[in-house]
Chains A and B, each alone.
Chain A
Amino acid sequence: MLIEIRDMHRTYQVGEEEVRALNGVDLDIEKNEYVAIMGPSGSGKSTLMNILGCLDTPSSGSYRLKGNEIATMGDDELARIRNQEIGFVFQTFNLLPRADALHNVELPLVYAGMKHEERRKRAREALTLVGLADRMKHRPNELSGGQRQRVAIARALVNHPSIILADEPTGNLDSTTGEEIMASFESIWRQGNTVIVVTHEPDIAQHAQRVVRMRDGKIESDTMNATRVTAVRS
């Protein structure tokens, strides 16, 4: 099992009030699954994603990633897990504005302590894979929204992580470009990667193999997607 979550709780203190963002979540995800996590805002899906991405730790319960308990890890270990095991794709791309595409993609490898030449080579490969071989020296503001998100996907892939974790990856894109991005995820998944997409858009979720719906900090339903639609580049 790649991911094992058991009885996970996450509470926040907001002023006097205690907010239960996650209230007893159990979830297993196998290697090479394509999962959509859905739910309205406030359902706890963002909190779950942060914990899955090792940006946050649960208040109680267990999270095992490849058999390693994450819930009790310290800052530096979490940073290492994020670096080695997680590839993030964000709604707002989150590229460094002053760095070109190549350097943005290199960044995880910098923190992995990889040598310069090797880094360059791997980053070029990743950018070529997402079809941006001719845009390597462009800065984010010289790229279209779709291209930026593809740079972000290349960055997520470059260190060969166990999970690709995408948070509303098409939220800032028009529907055609969004479809292209989903086609990228499709092909990444077909190459044997595990893809988790957090979204509130059914159009996006329909590409996933499995749909997990959340409500009030709990999993409301967890179903295989019988009507899966393959995303294709138009």
Chain B
Amino acid sequence: MNLRESVGIALGAVRANKLRSFLTLLGTIIGVASVIAVVSFVEGLNRFVSDKLIQAGSNTFSVDKFGFITSDEAYQDAMKRPDVTIEDADALRAGVRHASLVIAQSSTRENVRWKTERANGVDIRGRSPGYEITEDLKITDGRHLTELDDQRRRAVCVIGPEVSEELFHGLGAVDREIRLGEQTFQVVGVTEAKGKLLGQTQDRFIAIPIRSFVKYKRERGSIEIAVKSVDQASLPVAEQEARNIMRGRRHLAPGKPDTFAITTSDTWLSFYNNLTGGIYVVTIGVAAISLLVGGIVIMNIMLVSVTERTREIGIRKALGARRRDILTQFLTESTTLSLSGGILGIALGVGIALLVGALSPLPAAVSFPAVGLGILMSCMIGIFFGSYPAWRAARLDPIEALRYE
């Protein structure tokens, strides 16, 4: 008996019991769908991360007070550290020889006004000149912030296109004066739109010189220093230089821990990999359980099917079916069954991924290896959990089977 024949019989059996087949397959459908959906999300995130974050900051690191905090205890300890200041940034700019750029930066949120127009909760960024390189900002109108703006603590700002639109409605922003709390700032430039990143707009900000920022806030606070090394290879050297300078400024004896944190994109990357690794482990767990349950349900329904069709098996044997013909028939049937579940699961998983991708900021990319894996997995479940029922069917005694009512 050839495969086409077996698949025909199998599809006939599946079709004859549509509802039962569907219910049987729920476990497999959910298992495969969850794998496909989660893998699609993680793939989407991966693509996003490699496209944007890594590319942008592959040879930069940052120095700040907290660094990468993952527990409350670490946070409490870090609170006791001295603040990172503009003077630290100046020292790094002067001392880190493998740095091409050192940017002092700090942020807050504030409501902004121009005449009667308001923009609430705008991202206010204090930045050293050169920030446009690390943040990849281009000017469409006016100019960037300059060294002189910073040194003189000028009340000038560069605004994102969304802020410009909200306050001035396309009337032209440069030279207008906007109010941040008590202070008046003159707009000197508008940046090019960058669009959204993970659902967050990147165009609703106001950048002012970092020294103006500190002056305007009337308290020093801790800032962050972004250091860009001259190239990828010199990143570790630049990092070591920065560490030495910071330790020197804080008079830390050898052997004492740093009282500041240096974070590279590697830190983020390893955190990200841990996170997605965790997601994968959880998914594999969930999928494994639903597939196990799905497989057992398939085995159960195949046992029922073998019992129901005992007479059919007897007839087939009387007409010359060998054990292996019956075995093949029932294995093909269980595999067809689980494969239909796999295909439905893939469709559902892809559907979920696309739907969530369309409705939420989470990116989703359909992963073809995952689809292949889904198909392979469902086939293997069919074969594995179909083996015992098929074996039972194959070794039925033809006389007993024919007599079965």
Q: Contact at B318–A96, with CB atoms within 8 Å?
A: no
- Give Cα A202 to B322, complex, Å: 36
**What does the 1/0 interface line of A68-95 toward B look like (CB < 8 Å)?**
0000000110011011100010100011
- Give Cα A82 to B398, complex, Å: 11
Q: Which residues of A contact B315 (CB under 8 A)?
A: 94-96, 107
Partner of B321, one of A79, A95, A155: A79
Q: Which residues of B contact A113 (CB under 8 A)?
A: 1
**CB under 8 Å from chain A, chain B span 297-314:** 311-312, 314
Partner of B322, one of A50, A79, A98, A108: A79
**What does the 1/0 interface line of B114-156 toward A look like (CB < 8 Å)?**
0000000000000000000000000000000000000000000
Partner of A107, one of B12, B319, B323, B399: B319
Residue of B nearest to A90 (CB): B402
- Cβ-based interface call for B177 (8 A): no
**What does the 1/0 interface line of A187-201 toward B look like (CB < 8 Å)?**
000000000000000
The answer to whether A111 and B323 touch (CB under 8 A), given A55-B399, A96-B312, is no
Interface-centre pick from A79, A96, A110 (highest chain B CB count, 10 A): A79
Residue of A nearest to B4 (CB): A116
- Cβ-based interface call for B325 (8 A): yes
Q: Which residues of A contact B316 (CB under 8 A)?
A: 107, 111
Q: Which residues of B contact A79 (CB under 8 A)?
A: 317, 320-323, 325
- Give Cα A80 to B323, complex, Å: 11
Q: Contact at B320–A83, with CB atoms within 8 Å?
A: yes
Q: Contact at B12–A76, with CB atoms within 8 Å?
A: no
Q: Contact at B399–A50, with CB atoms within 8 Å?
A: yes
CB distance from B317 to the nearest CB of A (A): 7
CB distance from B314 to the nearest CB of A (A): 8
- Cβ-based interface call for A143 (8 A): no
Q: Which residues of B contact A232 (CB under 8 A)?
A: none
Interface residues on A, range: 20 to 34
The answer to whether A98 and B319 touch (CB under 8 A), given A50-B399, A110-B1, is no
Residue of B nearest to A99 (CB): B12
Q: Contact at A88–B325, with CB atoms within 8 Å?
A: no
* Chain B residues touching A, majority SS: helix
- Cβ-based interface call for A112 (8 A): yes
Q: Which residues of B contact A84 (CB under 8 A)?
A: 320
- Cβ-based interface call for A56 (8 A): yes
CB distance from A117 to the nearest CB of B (A): 13
- Cβ-based interface call for A169 (8 A): no
- Give Cα A113 to B324, complex, Å: 13
- Cβ-based interface call for A53 (8 A): yes
Q: Contact at B311–A94, with CB atoms within 8 Å?
A: yes
Q: Which residues of B contact A53 (CB under 8 A)?
A: 318
- Cβ-based interface call for B16 (8 A): yes
The answer to whether A94 and B402 touch (CB under 8 A), given A107-B316, A111-B1, A111-B316, is yes
- Cβ-based interface call for B87 (8 A): no
Residue of B nearest to A155 (CB): B319
- Cβ-based interface call for B219 (8 A): no
- Give Cα A32 to B322, complex, Å: 28
- Cβ-based interface call for B5 (8 A): yes
Partner of A82, one of B312, B320, B324: B320
Q: Contact at B323–A76, with CB atoms within 8 Å?
A: yes
Q: Contact at B5–A110, with CB atoms within 8 Å?
A: yes
Q: Which residues of A contact B320 (CB under 8 A)?
A: 79-80, 82-84, 108, 111-112, 159
Residue of B nearest to A76 (CB): B322
Q: Which residues of B contact A82 (CB under 8 A)?
A: 317-320
**CB under 8 Å from chain B, chain A span 91-130:** 94-96, 98, 107-108, 110-113
Residue of A nearest to B5 (CB): A110
Residue of A nearest to B314 (CB): A94
Q: Which residues of A contact B1 (CB under 8 A)?
A: 110-111, 113
- Give Cα A68 to B303, complex, Å: 37
Q: Which residues of A contact B12 (CB under 8 A)?
A: 98
Q: Which residues of B contact A108 (CB under 8 A)?
A: 319-320
CB distance from B328 to the nearest CB of A (A): 11
Q: Which residues of A contact B398 (CB under 8 A)?
A: 55
CB distance from A164 to the nearest CB of B (A): 13
Q: Which residues of B contact A107 (CB under 8 A)?
A: 315-316, 319
Q: Contact at A56–B323, with CB atoms within 8 Å?
A: no
CB distance from B338 to the nearest CB of A (A): 21
Q: Contact at A111–B321, with CB atoms within 8 Å?
A: yes
- Give Cα A96 to B12, complex, Å: 12
**CB under 8 Å from chain A, chain B span 375-405:** 398-399, 402
Partner of A88, one of B16, B312, B319, B324: B319
Q: Contact at B318–A88, with CB atoms within 8 Å?
A: yes
Residue of B nearest to A56 (CB): B399
- Give Cα A75 to B320, complex, Å: 10
Q: Which residues of B contact A90 (CB under 8 A)?
A: 402
Q: Which residues of B contact A83 (CB under 8 A)?
A: 319-320
- Give Cα A82 to B322, complex, Å: 10
Residue of A nearest to B13 (CB): A98
**CB under 8 Å from chain B, chain A span 170-211:** none
**3 closest A-B pairs by CB:** A83-B320, A111-B320, A79-B322
19 A–B contacts from the bound complex (CB under 8 Å): A55-B317, A55-B318, A56-B399, A79-B321, A79-B323, A82-B317, A82-B320, A88-B318, A94-B314, A96-B312, A98-B12, A98-B16, A108-B319, A108-B320, A110-B1, A111-B321, A112-B320, A113-B1, A155-B319
Binding site for A on B (CB under 8 A): 1, 5, 12, 16, 311-312, 314-325, 398-399, 402
Given A79-B323, A94-B318, A108-B320, 20 new contacts (CB under 8 A): A53-B318, A55-B399, A55-B402, A79-B320, A79-B321, A79-B322, A79-B325, A80-B320, A82-B318, A88-B319, A94-B314, A95-B315, A96-B312, A98-B12, A107-B315, A110-B1, A111-B321, A111-B322, A111-B325, A113-B1
